[in-house]
Structure 1
Amino acid sequence: MLNLSMFLAYLFINNPTTWQADNKYLLIILVFNLVWLLSTNITGLYESVLHKDSILTYRDFLKAYLLFIFLLSFFVIIIGIQSYLVTREYLLYSVIIFGFLVGGWKLIFLAIRKSNRDLFVNSRTIVIVGSGRIAMDIFQYFENHKHSGYRVIGFFDDKASRVAEIGLYLGSVSDVIDFTLENNVHEIFCALPTSQSKQIEDLMLAADKHLIRFKIIPEYIKSKKLMQVENYDHIPVISVRPEPLENMLNRFIKRAFDIVFSLFVIVFVISWLFPILAIIIKLQSKGPVFFTQERSGKDNVPFKCYKFRSMRVNADSDTKQATRSDSRITPIGAFIRKTSLDEFPQFFNVLMGHMSVVGPRPHMISHTERYSQLIDQFMVRHFLKPGITGWAQINGFRGETKTTEDMLQRVEADVWYLENWSFLLDLKIIFLTFWNVLKGEEKAF
């Protein structure tokens, strides 16, 4: 499709009735092909194509396509196009046609895969050693995902009673290897507990000797989320949750965006907004223009969070949340809280590195101490820098938290953001934050 798009672009720009070999395009064709191969390898576009979710398929395609355009632009600048008489118009048409061709093909492929997945997947017969909770979980997965390519024949365990009710008991652990050889079983999934490590090792060695693939399922898997496995030499280590922002490149991208975005807001918005609000705030009530409060930051390190003061000076500001029709709120305070203008000084926090544009909202120290005792995952949100806006806020979990359940919903949203961060997700949250401000939010008070 890549080379077809280049050919179509050639016909579109040149006279299609006078076709002849044109060597000036050969280097460009080579560059296009190599750059696409590089882009797809970096982004993993063609990994697990038979099992990958349709949304993930298109997300990976978009990543590969944008990287392709970026790298292609870079190489074209380095090589130069004038000496090869290849125009920018030709390059532009080629890239656009290619995008439409591959994007359309992905739709066709997903439709074919959905209705005829068995045509693409080689069915492999497997047995499961063990019959505990993990063994039953993996069996249920294969039952629910027939397209995975695995067909479970049955279980081997020294306690037949565990699987007798589903009628798939095949024998004791010592019978596994003989059965697999006699019945052409392709793989063994071992879900024995670590207390039986000697049996696991003996099975693994025997499977290797007879060219049977052997896979071990970890005994302790409490989480329902996707886990990450890292290898330290020969030792596999499972992380209980994915954390995209533990990647140095991702942290650099997020921090660079924070600096650019906060500088833009400070220079072009706060520079003229500050004197206007400062005068009105001072006229309506005595006290400072800014409200400064210690909040819980990344790794639970306190920092001074800045806001435009929206309340009269009071003794409860460090312990009591704002409520609907709160008597402490000034007239201008009600407006800036409704429009979220009171949060704008936090762009200085972003510039100083205490906060990010997007992240979990920072809580008062007293709330952190309280809810950390009531909600198991509450402190997990502190793995990230707090944000001016976040996934919880655009999903309606902002403002006053009257009950522990309200805070739990906010925490769950924050943890989801931590596990699923991407730069595109940040842009989506920022856009929806502005949209919510324009249409008005019920919990903004």
Structure 2
Amino acid sequence: MSTPLRGILKAHQSSLSVAHRLLDLTVIVLGGACQARFNGMALTAEAWTQILLAVLVFHWLGECHQLYGSWRGERIGRELLKVLNYWALTFAVLLSADYLLLNHTGVRDHAQLAWFATVLLALCGYRLGIRSLLQGLRSQGFNIRRVAVVGTGHCSERLARSIESAPWMGLDLLGFYDDQPQQMDLARIGRRVPVLGGLDQLLIDARKGRIDKVYITLSLDSQTRLGQLIRGLSDTTASVYVIPDVFMFELLHARSESINGLPSISIFDSPMDGAWSMVKRAEDIVLSSIILTMIALPLLLIAATIKLTSPGPVLFRQRRYGLDGRPIMVWKFRSMSVQENDKRVTQATRNDARITPLGALLRRTSLDELPQFFNVLRGEMSIVGPRPHAVAHNEQYRKQVAGYMLRHKVKPGITGWAQINGWRGETDTLDKMRKRVEFDLQYIEHWSVWLDMKIILLTLFKGFVNKNAF
């Protein structure tokens, strides 16, 4: 295959990005117009207002969250998930505007749902088609990028495996460059990837146009060497990327951020930032309001029964850590004859003498936690999130479990990813707490509204009654 064809799309990347935006907006407009015509409705000013609002909201979300960046190195599932999230948020805005501002006269309900489904299928469908087309072109040698990796450490090895395991990216790994090459286990790659020489040889090959992309995986303590290499590569036409070895650590929702033009990379961060925190809060307010309305009578019955069967208050309030480690008072139905809220708190155990007979039933069925929906409504907790622990337990385990306090990058929840996977109840061993923290951090890293809905549904089926709840 001749060299000019290898990067046939490279020179047109900006034009393709613009075309991609225009195609999305065209799909939304045509979808709305066609659904109105199909349902025998005139395109009134209000209907066009809805369509225009959809265009603006979807475009804004796409621009703010990098929907139109390069997806060469990402799997199609992540792109489609972004499309689904942004179109669903756009449609939620449309419905709110329709009921609150347009008096629900623009488009009928079934037509709105048909528009939502049609546009979603079109947005996802044409992306799948483009991916298939690009994959076919790349299999024929078109749109291929020749890449080189600087370094032969663990980060380089992991990068090489990622490139070789995903041929759909269209990256041709030429080899490694390192002045002091190390032994690497690349057996799983399936082919021998050579060390082509040192850094001087890299500069020679790059200047001759043999390399399209250079990935530098040198450690952070090699700043002098790194600076010299980057200055040398500035005299070439190769695209240069630096992969810091901090990415070899377990990162929590890592992302890039600009500080007055200075780029930075977050290592530990929360996914519920900016607009997403508003989405999470709206989710909590709507769901907790509905649930509290449904359980109002059971709450009153449980409260009366507690008052009649044992001395003491109906509610137990315990000081726990909330968002960013700030203290909150978590409400529960009292299930014990004591109310421990000091620097030393003893976890409940099986056949614990402190638990009242009614308290045993409440704890076994998780009904003792129902008052926490008021904590959610007050903004102190979320319906889904890491379960809050007593302050005494936080202070104990933060010294023993790596990453323990990262659980507090989000609001604590009534139910969570750890709980539906069986990690609830007494943590009588350090390994149990480590597993709970591991699942909590997985939730934070992969949070989405759809994951919250999944956890809530699973809680209904297997989260209330559990062998570990006592």
Name the TM-score, length of structure 1 as normaliser.
0.80
Aligned to 2:14: none
Aligned to 2:277: 251
- Give the distance between the partners of 1:430 and 1:215, measured in 2 at CA: 41
Bigger mean CA offset, 337-346 vs 421-430: 421-430
The total of aligned residue pairs comes to 433
Contact between 1:121 and 1:147, CA under 8 Å: does it hold in 2? Answer: no
Shift of 1:387: 1.6
- Please state if 1:288 is matched with 2:313: yes
Aligned to 1:297: 322
Aligned to 2:434: 408
Aligned to 2:466: 441
Q: Which amino acid aligns with 1:130?
A: G
- Give the distance between the partners of 2:300 and 2:106, measured in 1 at CA: 55
- Give the distance between the partners of 1:403 and 1:333, measured in 2 at CA: 24
Shift of 1:90: 10
Q: Which amino acid aligns with 1:56?
A: R
Q: Which amino acid aligns with 1:299?
A: D
Contact between 2:258 and 2:264, CA under 8 Å: does it hold in 1? Answer: yes
Distance change in 2, residues 1:135/1:37 (3 Å): same
Query: Which of 106, 118, 122 is the aligned partner of 2:139?
Result: 118
Q: Which amino acid aligns with 2:318?
A: Q
- Give the distance between the partners of 2:99 and 2:308, measured in 1 at CA: 58
Shift of 1:290: 1.7
Shift of 1:361: 1.1
Name the TM-score, length of structure 2 as normaliser.
0.76
Matches within 5 A, 1:41-440: 41=63, 44-45=66-67, 47-69=69-91, 92=112, 95-102=116-123, 118=139, 122-160=143-181, 162=183, 168-182=194-208, 184-225=210-251, 227-233=254-260, 235-245=262-272, 247-270=273-296, 272-313=297-338, 319-436=345-462, 440=465
Contact between 2:322 and 2:411, CA under 8 Å: does it hold in 1? Answer: yes
Shift of 1:103: 5.0
Which structure 2 segments of 5+ residues have no match?
A: 1-26, 187-191
1:374-416 C-alpha deviation (Å, 9 max, x unpaired): 2111121122222222221122111111211111111111112
Shift of 1:424: 2.8
Shift of 1:189: 2.4
1:150-208 C-alpha deviation (Å, 9 max, x unpaired): 22222332225657996723233223222233462223223334554444334323322
C-alpha RMSD of the superposition: 4.1
Bigger mean CA offset, 107-116 vs 155-164: 107-116
Contact between 2:145 and 2:171, CA under 8 Å: does it hold in 1? Answer: yes
Shift of 1:13: 5.0
- Give the distance between the partners of 1:269 and 1:90, measured in 2 at CA: 31
Contact between 1:278 and 1:289, CA under 8 Å: does it hold in 2? Answer: yes
- Give the distance between the partners of 1:392 and 1:132, measured in 2 at CA: 34
1:109-140 C-alpha deviation (Å, 9 max, x unpaired): 66777787635972222223333333333233
- Give the distance between the partners of 2:211 and 2:336, measured in 1 at CA: 72
Which structure 1 segments of 5+ residues have no match?
A: 15-21
Distance change in 2, residues 1:419/1:335 (3 Å): same
Distance change in 2, residues 1:39/1:90 (3 Å): farther
- Give the distance between the partners of 2:115 and 2:39, measured in 1 at CA: 10
Shift of 1:313: 3.3
Distance change in 2, residues 1:214/1:42 (3 Å): closer
Distance change in 2, residues 1:428/1:325 (3 Å): same
Q: Which amino acid aligns with 1:342?
A: D
Shift of 1:423: 2.6
- Give the distance between the partners of 2:200 and 2:373, measured in 1 at CA: 65
- Give the distance between the partners of 2:401 and 2:449, measured in 1 at CA: 28
Q: Which amino acid aligns with 2:150?
A: V
Q: Which amino acid aligns with 1:292?
A: R
Contact between 1:154 and 1:170, CA under 8 Å: does it hold in 2? Answer: yes
Shift of 1:45: 4.6
Distance change in 2, residues 1:390/1:183 (3 Å): same
Q: Which amino acid aligns with 1:309?
A: R
Contact between 1:128 and 1:188, CA under 8 Å: does it hold in 2? Answer: yes
Distance change in 2, residues 1:163/1:386 (3 Å): closer
Distance change in 2, residues 1:49/1:237 (3 Å): closer
Q: Which amino acid aligns with 1:426?
A: D
- Give the distance between the partners of 2:312 and 2:143, measured in 1 at CA: 73
